[in-house]
Amino acid sequence: MAQEDLLLQLKGYGLMTAEISYYMPDHPALLQTFIWQQYDVAPQFPVLHRFLDHWRREIEAALHSIRIAHRHLIGPVEWRAVDGIISIH
């Protein structure tokens, strides 16, 4: 699993966090929150769109709002070439 996550990050995926606010049919006055994290590509967010399409088809809860945070965990600033080798005897 960790190796797959690293491969996704090397392909340009970053960690996306979505805060989904929704109403359940049996409690329409109560706003509830669901937090979800997944690797996704900004700004298109294809993984999030597939999840929301599934939500609309399969879950009876009505969506109210969605807040998204996205962060690339691997970037060019973090890559440094090694200048030398240190040998420990």
Please give the distance of CA 29 from its chain centroid, rounded to a whole number. 28
Whole-number Å distance between alpha carbons of 48 and 68: 10
pLDDT computed for residue 85 by the predictor: 65
Residue 32, in any domain of the structure: yes
pLDDT computed for residue 65 by the predictor: 94
pLDDT computed for residue 49 by the predictor: 97
pLDDT computed for residue 43 by the predictor: 92
pLDDT computed for residue 2 by the predictor: 80
Whole-number Å distance between alpha carbons of 48 and 59: 15
Of the candidates 75, 52, 67, which has an alpha carbon nearest to the alpha carbon of residue 16? 67
Residue 53, in any domain of the structure: yes
Residue 86, in any domain of the structure: no
Dihedral of the alpha carbons of 67, 73, 76, 81, in degrees to the nearest 10: 170
Residue 82, in any domain of the structure: no
Q: List for the chain the helix, strand, coil content (%; round to 5).
A: 30, 40, 35
Residue 38, in any domain of the structure: yes
What is the domain count for the chain? 1
Q: How many residues does the chain have?
A: 89
Digit-coded pLDDT (tens) for 14-71: 999 999 999 999 999 999 999 999 999 999 999 999 999 999 999 999 999 999 999 9
Residue 85, in any domain of the structure: no
Residue 58, in any domain of the structure: yes
**Which domain does 12 fall in, by range?**
2-76
Q: Which residue has the higher pLDDT, 58 or 80?
A: 58
pLDDT computed for residue 59 by the predictor: 94
Residue 24, in any domain of the structure: yes
